Amino acid sequence: MRYLVENRALDIDTSFSEQVKAESGADIDRCYQCLTCSLGCPSAFAMDYLPHQIVRMVQLGLREQVLTSATIWVCADCQACATRCPNEVDIVKMMDALREISLREGLAKERGVAAFHRIFLGNIERFGRQHELSLILMLKLKTRDLFSDVPSGMKMFLKGKLNLLPKRFKEIGKVRDIFRGAGK
């Protein structure tokens, strides 16, 4: 496996697997590398490490490789892996925890996906609900990908499917308290 043949000394963080277990509640030690998760993963083709490899890397304490991997951001959150795991390893919760740690430590490599999450949550904090038009526009500006979706975006707008303004929301203060309470 790739991470074992890399021609350099790897930093091992022996506390990493304990941290991931504590933050995710997933019992990663139960994995016996049967590969069911990776075989059924619909976005595996775009990953740098396959899901079963990520589980093993967490067990081994390869903190940096895991937290800077593309895999954790390319995961489409479809839940197939955890549903099919014969030993009930909750890979979905593990991926969530890995993304959370990766963002917290500024290690997220897939800037586009991380930016998407930030803008998405920023909009909820501002408006209480998602405002799809500003979400799309801000993401396009942030990733400097201005023109790829113009035709379908225009079509949606003309069909009245993208509101110009966000809906009025009453208790926005309470939603902002929820964000503050989560340290956001």
Partner 1 sequence: MTQQKASSLRYAYYPGCSLEATAREYDLSVRAVCARLGIELTEIPDWNCCGASSGHSTSRRLASNLAGRNLMLAEEMGMDIAVACPACYIRLRSAQNEMKQDKEQRDELMRMTGLSYQAEYDTRHLLDIICHEIGFENLKSKVVKPLKGLKLAAYYGCYLVRPPGLVAFDDPENPQCLDALLDTLGAEVRDWSGKVDCCGGSLSLSKRDIAIRMVSELVEMARQAGAEALVAACPLCHANLEMRQPGYNGNKLPVFYFTELIGLAMGIAEARSWFKKHLISPSGLLNSLGL
Q: What are the structure tokens assigned to 36, written together?
A: 């069911």
Per CB under 8 A, contacts with partner 1 among 55-94 are: 73-74, 76-80, 82-83, 92
Q: In which residue are the tokens 């951001």 written?
A: 73
Per CB under 8 A, contacts with partner 1 among 145-164 are: 148-149, 152, 155-156, 159-163
Do 6 and 62 contact (CB within 8 A), yes or no?
no
Among 46, 141, 146, 150, binds partner 1 (CB under 8 A): 46
d(CA 98, CA 68): 10
Closest C-alpha among 112, 177, 117, 170 to residue 145: 112
Do 81 and 54 contact (CB within 8 A), yes or no?
no
Binding mask 102-131 vs partner 1 (x if CB under 8 A, - otherwise)?
A: -x------x-xx-xxx--xx--x---xxxx
Kindly state the smallest distance separating residue 53's Cβ from partner 1, in Å: 19
Kindly state the smallest distance separating residue 42's Cβ from partner 1, in Å: 5
Do 19 and 58 contact (CB within 8 A), yes or no?
no
| For the chain, counts of helices (H) and of strands (E) | 12, 0
**Which residues contact partner 1 by CB under 8 A?**
23, 42-43, 45-46, 73-74, 76-80, 82-83, 92, 96-97, 99-100, 103, 110, 112-113, 115-117, 120-121, 124, 128-133, 135-136, 139, 148-149, 152, 155-156, 159-163, 167, 169-171, 174-175, 177-179, 181-184
